Amino acid sequence: MTILVIHGPNLNLLGTREPEIYGKKTLKEIDALIVAHGRKLGVEVRTTQANHEGVIIDLIQTAAADGVDAIVLNPGAYSHTSVAIADAIRSVKTPVIEVHLTNVFARGGDRTRLVTATNAKGVLLGFGFESYLLGLEAAARVAIPRRRASPRRRSRSRK
């Protein structure tokens, strides 16, 4: 099973970006923890970061063809605004688990509106970098494994 983790805008700055809010770990350190957690779960993990909305949409659209069974997505600030990313999530079968480092509801203001989460399978937020680890576990549970599709097809053709 393959899970794609997408970090949205400004998350490349983790470690130096408002560490009192987002923590001191860099994205590289968090990615290493995500990959190690995936290994424990028996899941292959790919991680990537994008500052651009369209790049995130492309990644969601092409995930299935790229062999991805589920996506863990932190859309960053696009979470609060992007109908386009919400539409992309809705347009594909690949389940998307949305994650946030912070509890956006506790932060108030515009951050309490989660546009992209409307179409996510589920949301995990407020656990710091561990939101990603929990998101990975959730993604592994709801993934649509590509392996499962072929035996069903085979058994149908035998009838």
Active site amino acids: 22, 100
Query: Which residue has tokens 């909305």?
Result: 53
Among 47, 49, 74, 82, binds ligand DQA (CB under 6 A): 74
Bridge partners of 97?
Answer: 72, 122
User: Could you give phi then psi for residue 101, rounded to 5 degrees?
Assistant: -65, -45
Complex with ligand DQA: residue 32 or 144, whichever CB lies closer? 32
Q: Is 25 in the site for ligand DQA (CB under 6 A)?
A: no
- Residues 83-142 contacting ligand DQA, CB under 6 A: 100-102, 104, 111
CB of 12 to ligand DQA, least distance (A): 11
Q: Which stretch binds ligand DQA (CB under 6 A): 33-41, 73-81, 132-140, 145-153?
A: 73-81
Cα separation, 97 vs 112, in Å, equals 17
H-only helix segments in the chain: 19-22, 27-41, 53-62, 83-91, 104-107, 130-142, 146-158
Kindly list the residues in this chain that would bind ligand DQA in the complex (CB under 6 A).
10, 74, 76-77, 79, 100-102, 104, 111
